[in-house]
Copies of this chain bind each other. A is one copy, B any other.
């Protein structure tokens, strides 16, 4: 059978408590006793039982990452894998284990809720902000488990969240196109109902308005963050004859460029493009993509840190954190890098 604390205690000739102290790095153990115990532990390859430890200490050292149904097309956009990676890394660093919950359907949601809200499994939860109508997030907020929402939640609430400054990012992207002298700047939005989309559209509108330009609604097309949606949105926009497009994600920008190319347009001469994310793929396409860089991995790391703070120091006040973005100029918008300062 498996080794227990008692086995180690017996072999080291001390009590169970002492072994526990050694294992958990408590002070108040004489050095030579500590050494003796450590030796036995090493020789035997003992590892404390996780469940027993969790039960006794009421801490599981496990965090949950929940990705709701609405983002479950999900791994279509490399954004989420990268985010997941950042989170996983941060968990590791801090000795937490990461549990991954991909909600694929309504039934999944029902199955997952008790699991994540159940005591004794998770110390805290990271949940991706979704679209209007995502129940899960509200239910989780209602239960009093430490929770950090990834992205501004749709429902205004007093939960903690972390976000990037999407309005400013989109504002900068659009302003850049204006500075390039583009006259008919279109935009392809993300999935309607998500705060990311809403905020990026707002930034787009704001940039135009501030320069005294009317916003032409025929230059706004809805996508859903997939490549295909960018492609189709672009096809629709073609009638409105845009000379520039701000797409709310790199992947959509790439789809849109594909459609533009097929329509015989030259990039960036006939039409310029700016994306959002700065994923690796942005540099790998034929015409490298100008884009808004957001610190995806860092976002994950910060999220974990905020959550750890919540776990360790209580839920109030809710924490808020907004990260900045950065305009990265490449060939797709027809600007040389020097223009970036302009």
Among A116-124, A153-161, A241-249, the one that faces the other chain is A116-124
Instruction: Determine the chain B residues whose CB is within 8 A of the CB of A121 once the complex forms.
Output: 50-51, 97
Chain B residues, Cβ within 8 Å of A336: none
Count how many chain A residues have C-beta atoms less than 8 Å from C-beta atoms of the other chain.
53
Residue from B53, B89, B120 in contact with A102 in the complex, judged by beta carbons closer than 8 Å: B89
Least distance between A143 CB and chain B CB atoms (Å): 8
Q: In chain A between 50 and 107, which residues have their CB closer than 8 angstroms to a CB of chain B?
A: 50-55, 60, 62, 65, 74-76, 78, 80-82, 84-85, 88-89, 92, 95, 97-102, 104
A179 at the B interface (CB under 8 A): no
- For the residues of A in contact with B, the DSSP-based class is helix
Could you tell me the distance in whole angstroms from the C-beta of A63 to the nearest C-beta in chain B? 10
A50 to B101, CA, bound (A): 16
Instruction: Report the copy number of this chain in the oligomer.
Output: 2
Residues A51 and B54 in contact in the complex (CB < 8 Å), given A92-B112, A258-B286: yes
Contacts of A228 in B (CB 8 A): 284
Contact A99 B102 (CB under 8 A): no
Q: Given the complex, which residues of B lie within 8 Å of A52, measured CB to CB?
A: 51, 55, 120
A116 CB to nearest chain B CB (Å): 9
Whole-angstrom CA separation of A280 from B73 in the bound complex: 12
Give A178 Cβ to nearest chain B Cβ, in Å.
Answer: 30
A255 touches B (CB below 8 Å):
yes
Q: Which residues of B have CB within 8 Å of A55?
A: 49, 51-52, 55
Question: A84 with B104: in contact, given A92-B111, A228-B284 (CB under 8 Å)?
Answer: no
Query: CA separation between A111 and B104, bound complex, in Å?
Result: 31
Query: In the complex, A280→B74 CA distance in Å?
Result: 13
B120 touches A95 (CB 8 A): no
- Is the beta-carbon distance between B99 and A49 smaller than 8 angstroms? no
Q: Is the CB of B100 within 8 A of A98?
A: yes
Least CB separation from A94: chain B residue: B111
Most buried by B among A89, A102, A281: A102
* CB closest chain-B residue, reference A122: B50
Contacts of A231 in B (CB 8 A): 284
Across the interface, which residues of B come within 8 angstroms of A108, CB to CB? 92
8 tightest A-B contacts by CB? A51-B120, A75-B81, A51-B54, A50-B121, A49-B120, A47-B118, A50-B120, A88-B102
Given contacts A2-B119, A97-B121, A258-B286, 12 further A-B contacts (CB under 8 A): A47-B114, A49-B118, A50-B118, A50-B119, A51-B55, A51-B121, A53-B120, A75-B78, A78-B78, A97-B99, A97-B115, A227-B281
